[in-house]
A = this chain, B = another copy of it.
Amino acid sequence: MNGEPERRTGPVPKSVLARGLRLLDAFGSGDAELTLAQLAARTGLPKPTAHRLLGELVRWGGVERTAGGYRLSMRLFVLGQRAPRPRGLREAALPYLEDLYEATHENIHLAVLDGVDTLFLEKVTGRRAMPIVSRVGGRLPAYCTATGKLFLALGPADRLRQVLAAGLAHYTPRTIVMPGLLRRELDRTLERGYALNREESEAGVSAIAAPIIDADGGVTAAISITGSSRRLDLERLAPAVRTAARALSRELAR
């Protein structure tokens, strides 16, 4: 009936804390602000309960009231910045990302694997770069992104199995949706040492990515250059991304 995606994951938890946290989760990336009724519907909580818990979240400061709704507040942003895992990585990577941006003036991403998705931890962009959908904190399926292919190609075989089990969907006509073809593509990725995305996630958009490797030889992250298919000569950019990725890997391993 309504355009809202069904967000309910299992039954409503009985514990107050879990219910309150579910309210936070109910805010999707799409929605700037939500009404009480929407939040109650999404979380499955009775309206009075949602109302009471939201009141508490507002008092805490993580949520703020607006005329006719609720939205996540800056305080939550600040809290999130304290998380050590993305922070160290982002701060170490930033200089390298800036170098790549300056050299290419295209979109530069830092991403990690999260489940079966590539999750963008940082995005450096500018006026001259082609506008694309990705956002910091946003995600795309691993199988149709340059960074994601690295996690699949260089990671344990089980990862790919999970991705295939979850199913491959078309994002563009060029998205690789045949498991066999994807395997071939990942094999090539592995032997090349870098990954490509030729309009597989967004029409007209291509990318090249190189892996960040930890001391044990595992892929922990990836950096990519993304831009207009027409303008980008991916192969020509390979040395730059790979050099940056290798330098960052070395710095992180220290």
Q: Is the CB of B17 within 8 A of A126?
A: no
Chain B residues in 8 Å Cβ range of A72: 79-80, 82-84
| Interface SS of chain A | helix
Q: Is the CB of A15 within 8 A of B95?
A: no
Q: A71-95: which residues lie under 8 A (CB-CB) from chain B?
A: 71-74, 76-87, 91, 94-95
Chain B residues in 8 Å Cβ range of A127: 95, 98-99
B interface footprint on A119-163 (CB within 8 Å = 1, 0 otherwise):
101001111000000011110000000000000000000000000
Q: Is the CB of A71 within 8 A of B83?
A: yes
Q: Which of B21, B24, B32, B53 contacts A84 (CB 8 A)?
A: B32
Q: Is the CB of A74 within 8 A of B114?
A: yes
Residue of B nearest to A91 (CB): B135
Contact-residue size bin, chain A (C-beta under 8 Å from the other chain): 35 or more
Best-buried of A83, A99, A112 by chain B (most CB within 10 Å) = A83
Chain B residues in 8 Å Cβ range of A21: 20, 57, 60, 62
Q: With A and B bound together, what is the CA distance between A143 and B99 in angstroms?
A: 33
Q: Is A33 an interface residue (CB 8 A)?
A: yes
Q: With A and B bound together, what is the CA distance between A60 and B99 in angstroms?
A: 37
Q: Which of B17, B19, B102 contacts A102 (CB 8 A)?
A: B102
Q: With A and B bound together, what is the CA distance between A169 and B195 in angstroms?
A: 52
Residue of B nearest to A60 (CB): B21
Q: Which of B53, B114, B138 contacts A17 (CB 8 A)?
A: B53
Q: Which of B53, B76, B126 contacts A83 (CB 8 A)?
A: B76
Residue of B nearest to A138 (CB): B81
Chain B residues in 8 Å Cβ range of A194: none
Q: With A and B bound together, what is the CA distance between A192 and B119 in angstroms?
A: 43
Report 12 cross-chain contacts, Cβ distance below 8 Å, ordered by A residue: A17-B17, A18-B60, A24-B79, A71-B85, A72-B83, A73-B85, A74-B119, A77-B81, A77-B87, A80-B81, A94-B124, A102-B102
Query: Could you list which residues of chain A lie within 8 angstroms of chain B, going by C-beta atoms?
Result: 15-21, 24-25, 27-29, 32-33, 53, 56-57, 59-60, 62, 71-74, 76-87, 91, 94-95, 98-99, 101-102, 112, 114, 119, 121, 124-127, 135-138
Apart from A17-B53, A24-B79, A98-B126, list 19 A-B contacts with CB within 8 A.
A17-B17, A17-B60, A20-B21, A21-B60, A29-B81, A32-B84, A72-B79, A72-B82, A74-B83, A76-B83, A77-B83, A77-B86, A80-B80, A80-B81, A81-B138, A94-B124, A94-B125, A98-B127, A99-B126
